[in-house]
Amino acid sequence: MLGSSRGQTSRREFMALAAAGLAAPAPQGRIDCQSHLFVPELLAWMEKRRTPPYVYRKGEDRYVVVGEWERRILPNHTDVAAKLAAMDSAGIELAALSINDPGPELFGKDAVAIARMVNDYIDSVARRHPRRFFGLAALPMQDNDSTLAELDRCIGKPGLKGILLYSNLNGRFPDEPQFRPLFETAARRNIPILLHPAYPVTHEATKGYSMAAGLGLMFDTTIALTRLILAGVLERHPDLKLVCPHVGGALPYLIGRIDHQTQVLKRGAENIRKPPSEYLKQVWLDTVSPIAQAIRYGIDFAGVDKMLYASDHPWVDPSLIAGLVSSLKLSPADERKVFAENARRLFGLSSRAQS
């Protein structure tokens, strides 16, 4: 396991584990449930913009700006061949592809066109490599009619098998009433939703020391998922296939406090009938955390049937996360669930990707 008996991890230990994961032969047949690509056509279009979200060049590098946050776009962020090579190195058979933020809702009147652009691109990659990829559709969430129309269009595409939903939609959280028809439709049609972090509402508080990615994004999914629970979305739709990545953000570690607030102090329990922890156990989690103890806790909390292997490539090397899962020394049956079987069940995949 990563870290010493006191839970501390040195940089040397971290890098050694990463190197060990890269060097070790990996079992085949893994399914990566969180893998991203920037869409080249969207990046080229964003280079023409001068207000966020936009892209600018500095020397040979490109940077994407969302709000006050900017990130360098690395060459492999748009390189399908590089992604396939990383998958091969980590023993990944199949990956769920989705875009990086910004989401379509940040583009105002162009949101529907942007959603169509990025979804057609992700679908095209999945169709060119049907044994290696399937896609998650990003929806234009600025109005319900546009959202459901694009969902209808996308779910008819053979390469798309789920929804990428951002944790905030241009500053608004997805539990708000105007967004709730999406959850009813997804539950009724058995379509999985990945609740992925976006430009965080806490950016001002977390931009110091470059904490926006390390804390801000995790706080965003934590707030969004807690709101979905307390709004009663999972109460009304118990069969909703909702995935919260990064081992649920911070919520699994805080859920006892949320239970106490709602069940003992009677704060925020108006829309639910059970402790919030019971609704959280309806949610799938993924393994994107570079510390084995967090993955172990997620499995102990939610159950091995609700844990999905994922890498967050290209931001994280898939072999690092795979090595951490292997270090848990799960039973062979449970390891197969985490690495592939749970994903096959969630996304309705065949036992092998279809050619």
Q: Which amino acid is at 108?
A: G
Query: Domain range holding 137?
Result: 11-39+75-347
For residue 198, tell me if it sits in a domain. yes
The token duo for 73 is: 């776009």
Q: What is the DSSP letter of 313?
A: B
Phi, psi angles (nearest 5°) of residue 93 = -80, -40
Identify the pLDDT of residue 7: 40
Give me the DSSP letters along 35-50.
EEE--HHHHHHHTT-S
pTM of the model: 0.91
* Cis amide prior to 245 (ω within 30 degrees): no
Identify the pLDDT of residue 20: 43
Query: Of 88, 80, 312, whose CA–CA distance to 214 is shortest?
Result: 312
Contact 26, 322 (CB under 8 A): yes
The token duo for 312 is: 């967050």
For residue 281, tell me if it sits in a domain. yes
CA 301, chain centre distance (Å): 19
Alpha helices in the chain (DSSP H): 11-23, 40-46, 80-89, 111-128, 144-155, 180-189, 203-206, 211, 217-230, 233-236, 245-248, 251-263, 276-280, 292-302, 318-327, 332-336, 342-347
Buried (b) or exposed (e) across 201-236, using 16+ Cβ within 10 A? bbbeebeeeebbeebbbbbbbbbbbbbbbbbbbbbe
Q: How many CB atoms lie within 10 A of CB 332?
A: 7
CA 244, chain centre distance (Å): 7
Structural domain count, the chain: 1
Quote the CA–CA distance of 85 and 75 in Å, as a whole number.
14
Identify the pLDDT of residue 163: 98
- For 144-188, the pLDDT digits (tens) are 999 999 999 998 898 999 999 999 999 999 999 999 999 999 999
**66: which strand partners?**
69
CA angle 326/98/253 to nearest 5° reads 50
Contact 138, 115 (CB under 8 A): yes
Buried (b) or exposed (e) across 158-197, using 16+ Cβ within 10 A? ebbbbbbbbbbbbeebbbeeebbebbebbbeeebbbbbbb
- For 186-232, the pLDDT digits (tens) are 999 999 999 999 999 999 999 999 999 999 999 999 999 999 999 99
CATH of the domain at 293: 3.20.20.140
For residue 339, tell me if it sits in a domain. yes
Quote the CA–CA distance of 135 and 35 in Å, as a whole number.
9
For residue 354, tell me if it sits in a domain. no
Query: Of 276, 295, 279, whose CA–CA distance to 287 is shortest?
Result: 295
Query: CA–CA distance from 243 to each of 129, 191, 247 (Å)?
Result: 24, 11, 10
Which residues in the chain land under pLDDT 50? Answer: 1-9, 13-26, 353-355
Q: How many CB atoms lie within 10 A of CB 268?
A: 16
For residue 302, tell me if it sits in a domain. yes
For residue 115, tell me if it sits in a domain. yes
Query: CA–CA distance from 270 to each of 4, 16, 149, 261, 278 (Å)?
Result: 43, 49, 32, 12, 16
For residue 92, tell me if it sits in a domain. yes
Terminal CA-CA length for the chain: 37
For residue 160, tell me if it sits in a domain. yes
